[in-house]
Structure 1
Amino acid sequence: MPEHTARGRTAVVIGGGLAGMLAVVALRGHVETITVVERDRYPAGHAFRKGVPQAHHLHILLSGGQRALERLLPGTVAALTDAGARSLYLPRDLLTRTPTGWQRRFDERRHPTLSVTRPVLDAVVRERALRALGPTTRVEVLEATEAVGLLGDARRVAGVTVRDRATGTSRPLPADLVVDASGRGSRTPQWYAELGREAPREETVDSGLAYATRMYRPTDEDGEPETAVNVPGWPECPRGAAYLPVEGGNWLLTLSGVTGHHPPTDEAEFAAFSATIGDPYVHELLTRAEPVSPVHGFRDTRNRRRHYDHPGALPEGLLVLGDANCTFNPVYGQGMSVAALGAVALRDTLDAAGGPGPGVLARAQRAVGRAAESAWMAAVGADRPYAHGTEAKAGPGERLMSWYLDRLAARAAVDRVVGGAFRDVFCLTAPPARLMAPRVLLRTVFLPRRPGLPRPPGTVETT
């Protein structure tokens, strides 16, 4: 975009985490000045910070998220790998126990997945995002500062009111556009009332799932597992576990369970809980590892979608990105990838329109909503059976789709064709329609259900 078209335009990004930094990159060249409003102070190095409540838990970047990240910040995946992130190809490098048995290890080499701790991910992306701005866009980061309201009226947002967390002093911060990337705790629906607008329609599906995570280190060289392991819960055994490598030779174990089956945060009981999931394999691995961190719990796992993408739901000058727009049960590992895809959708819309003119951000918000659709369908479909009340009710179309997806998931564990389509959609590289391709549909509906493998597979299938 020519530099003169951005001259004089200003933007505020609420939230300086992953989604906020990617929003900064998406706005590059379309505004002259960006102010990032961040509640925390950034730690030195790769350290945890209080404002990221899930920071101690597993984080993965799916192949679709990696592609989006590379479009925004080329070379970042390599930088994360250099910082210690572990790359796992699905399904070769992740043993998965399904309700019908273990998934076969097809060597597809199509879906690399990065497993990394959140401090490393945030620090690498932040450093590269701020360095990549170039001469046409300036950025200022206001640390230890929080947004406490939107400026403007029901028709148009004109900036934010910010408050210094140390002094309590508030001041207006005018801007031509505002991006809310503040995460699950976004207050934009409440701020709508102050502007004289109705909050957007909201959908929620809450399985009641909670999870707990602890870091381990193999006790000797022979103790490191050959592959990562995933044993998700299912209705007959609603407890699960995921055991994945991260940087520094460490492994993260996350245990999960729905209401009535929540994993303990007591250190003495944590490992014992791993023996109660649907397969003993993970519990056996722990006999060859030692804990190197406390146990950290997390319970805010509801799926929630706010329909800022509906006609008339967004005032001019505002866009909502990442978890502030659509949050998923974190146990499925989709949130960071969806944030990256949403930032690409924002950038592509701005590029096509030549900048943030009238109606452009509403168009971008619809693109952000489409970028989240596959992840929403997968998370809600998996969590709906555990929900209660009105959230448990699915219409005829969703019930039919749930029946189909149940058969498809079972078939995917043993069928290379169906499994490939399933991973394309789950890893956010193909739309949900990929699951209805004729070849996939016929194999799912008409071939008999077959059980998975009885034990974790040690053989990789290359053909």
Structure 2
Amino acid sequence: MSRRAVVVGAGLAGMLAAAVLSDAGVAEVLVVDRDALPDGPRQRRGLPQGRHAHLLMTGGLSAMEEIVPGVSLRERLLAAGAHEISLSSGMLALTSEGWLRRWRRAGPVMLTCTRALVDWTVRAAVLEHTRVSIRRGAVTGLTGSAGRVRGVRVSGPGGEEVLDADLVVDASGRGTRIVGWLDGLGLSGVRSRTRTVDSGLVNASRMYRVPAGAERFPLTIVQSNPYVSRPGRSAMVMPVEGGRWLVSCGGTRGGEPPADPEGFLRYTLGLPDPIVGRLVSGAEPLTDVHLSRSTSNVRHYLEKAPDWPEGFVVLGDALGTFNPAYGQGMSVAAFGARVLGRELARSGDLGAPGLARRVLRGAARPVDAAWSMAVGQDVLYPGTRGGRPSAADRAVSAYTRRMTRASTGSYAAASAIWDVTSMRASPARMFHPSAVLAALAGPPLPLLTGPPLTPGEREVLAGLDRTDS
């Protein structure tokens, strides 16, 4: 195997890519990041969405565990205080079509914790079990030619220097400078292959202490409704480590949540069901309200470029970013790193002809699936910039809405949605014959008139409620 690989970005995508490269036998794997990385699960500057809710789905976690050798990330996260939530029975979810039921059947799970804990756990595991090293510096460009990338230029405390590499991986995230870097090599035209769809989503999040007696209260979410020609508005109460609730609100253009505490509470109480506001009205806030606007969907169609240099791979958010409301980013990053690992195992050499192009095309497939799901809904909100619903979008939207309505009273429909949401199956799962039949039949059980709470949960909610609801 070759001498050195340089990974740009020490976020989730970068550390997973580094683990893959080290496991493939690369002698030196160097990760370069502009930030001073925290020595624990704390927020860092280069992750604008880090303070908001993130869901680690089954499919993504499975890919991560396959990538990082010698450690169970699931066990580490749970030991650090993460929560394992069953999609079938462990959450209260109000969809655009009504409340989902809670089924006494096994279903996919997800882990809930802060994004900082996920990043820290993965980074620590990779550094413990591989030969990967991290260096602070800002990558300012690529070296080489239009035919092959030979390394990166790095600006650091000692000035600018060149790091030679047999393979460079851009995992620098939403803020990637990929277009300018490729221009510098003489590869133009990439900008015209970039698309942005921006619903104007603003996220607002605040931490609360979990009240005594509410430790086992289910994850609670009021989803936005893209079918009513009004701004999307949503909220979630998610258990995280440290005996805390992370409460995140999201609103598209014209329905943005405010940053002041009183307005934040009013926003939750003004949703189609006030349950989130009722819960947090009796909980102790631990932080201010944090806002973020870095939420647009951006797709760099690099795999469609007519020419691509050897020795250069793009993964994670640097290839495609999605509205974070759909909980796809972490899993897609893991899928891309797994593609890199499989292609390295197949070729046996970083310098193998066509390796970079094959990785790019393989990594683009899960990006496309996530993009279709995110953009297909975002284009329905009023004021969305960069896209209008096509006839195909409207057809898929109508089917998805019918499936969602069926899922309020059909286990077959709900399980199809869970499989896709958890990213353990592709969107094609929604068109499996059993799912299609369930969608056509509609919900065999009547719509619930309120959240499916147990008697104990109703008592907890009533005890916390400080509103007039």
How does the TM-score come out when normalised to structure 2? Answer: 0.91
Greater alpha carbon shift after TM alignment, 276-285 vs 265-274: 265-274
- The answer (yes or no) to whether the contact 2:402–2:442 under 8 Å persists in 1 is no
* Aligned alpha-carbon RMSD (Å): 1.9
Matched, 1:350 2:344: yes
Which of 212, 215, 222 is the equivalent residue of 1:231? 222
Matching residue of 1:95: 92
C-alpha separation in 1, matches of 2:116 and 2:392: 41
C-alpha separation in 2, matches of 1:316 and 1:117: 37
C-alpha separation in 1, matches of 2:142 and 2:256: 38
- How far is the alpha carbon of 1:23 from its aligned partner? 0.4
Matching residue of 2:449: 454
Task: Report 1:33-182 matches (<5 A).
Answer: 33-73=28-68, 74-133=71-130, 138-143=131-136, 145-164=137-156, 166-167=157-158, 169-182=159-172
- The answer (yes or no) to whether the contact 1:240–1:278 under 8 Å persists in 2 is no
C-alpha separation in 2, matches of 1:110 and 1:125: 25
Which of 370, 380, 383 is the equivalent residue of 1:375? 370
C-alpha separation in 1, matches of 2:265 and 2:442: 40
1:62-87 deviation per Cα after TM superposition (whole angstroms, max 9, x unaligned): 01011101111241111111111111
- The answer (yes or no) to whether the contact 1:205–1:387 under 8 Å persists in 2 is no
Matching residue of 1:206: 198
C-alpha separation in 2, matches of 1:142 and 1:62: 30
Matching residue of 2:399: 404
Instruction: Give the residue type in structure 1 aligned to 2:370.
Output: A
C-alpha separation in 2, matches of 1:68 and 1:414: 31
Matching residue of 1:9: 3
Greater alpha carbon shift after TM alignment, 336-345 vs 304-313: 304-313
Greater alpha carbon shift after TM alignment, 396-405 vs 258-267: 396-405
- The answer (yes or no) to whether the contact 2:41–2:116 under 8 Å persists in 1 is yes
Matching residue of 1:3: none
Secondary structure of the corresponding residue to residue 53 of structure 1:
coil
Matching residue of 2:419: 424
- How far is the alpha carbon of 1:387 from its aligned partner? 5.7
Matching residue of 2:237: 243
C-alpha separation in 1, matches of 2:238 and 2:452: 17
- The answer (yes or no) to whether the contact 2:410–2:444 under 8 Å persists in 1 is no
Matched, 1:252 2:242: no
Matching residue of 1:317: 311
- How far is the alpha carbon of 1:30 from its aligned partner? 4.0
1:312-368 deviation per Cα after TM superposition (whole angstroms, max 9, x unaligned): 353111111111111010122111111111111111121122233110121111111
- The answer (yes or no) to whether the contact 2:96–2:225 under 8 Å persists in 1 is yes
C-alpha separation in 2, matches of 1:452 and 1:374: 30
- How far is the alpha carbon of 1:394 from its aligned partner? 3.2
Secondary structure of the corresponding residue to residue 154 of structure 1:
coil
Instruction: Give the residue type in structure 2 aligned to 1:255.
Output: C
Matching residue of 2:466: none
CA distance change for structure 1 residues 186 and 450 in 2, over 3 Å: closer, same or farther? farther
CA distance change for structure 1 residues 196 and 449 in 2, over 3 Å: closer, same or farther? farther
Matching residue of 1:326: 320
1:272-307 deviation per Cα after TM superposition (whole angstroms, max 9, x unaligned): 211111211111111321100111101111111111
Q: What fraction of aligned residue pairs are identical, expressed as a percent?
A: 39
Matching residue of 2:356: 361
C-alpha separation in 2, matches of 1:241 and 1:389: 20
Matching residue of 1:295: 289
- How far is the alpha carbon of 1:390 from its aligned partner? 7.0
CA distance change for structure 1 residues 304 and 124 in 2, over 3 Å: closer, same or farther? same
C-alpha separation in 2, matches of 1:246 and 1:218: 10
What stretches of structure 2 of length at least 5 have no aligned partner? 456-469
Which of 269, 273, 278 is the equivalent residue of 1:275? 269
Matched, 1:391 2:378: no
What stretches of structure 1 of length at least 5 have no aligned partner? 1-5
- How far is the alpha carbon of 1:114 from its aligned partner? 0.7
Secondary structure of the corresponding residue to residue 229 of structure 1:
strand
Greater alpha carbon shift after TM alignment, 354-363 vs 316-325: 354-363
- Aligned residue pairs: how many? 446
C-alpha separation in 2, matches of 1:139 and 1:226: 40
CA distance change for structure 1 residues 179 and 443 in 2, over 3 Å: closer, same or farther? same
C-alpha separation in 2, matches of 1:362 and 1:17: 23
C-alpha separation in 1, matches of 2:290 and 2:446: 35
CA distance change for structure 1 residues 69 and 394 in 2, over 3 Å: closer, same or farther? same
C-alpha separation in 1, matches of 2:308 and 2:454: 52
Instruction: Give the residue type in structure 2 aligned to 1:233.
Output: S
- How far is the alpha carbon of 1:459 from its aligned partner? 5.3
C-alpha separation in 2, matches of 1:21 and 1:107: 37
C-alpha separation in 1, matches of 2:213 and 2:454: 18
Secondary structure of the corresponding residue to residue 331 of structure 1:
helix
Instruction: Give the residue type in structure 1 aligned to 2:324.
Output: P
Secondary structure of the corresponding residue to residue 253 of structure 1:
strand
Matched, 1:197 2:192: no
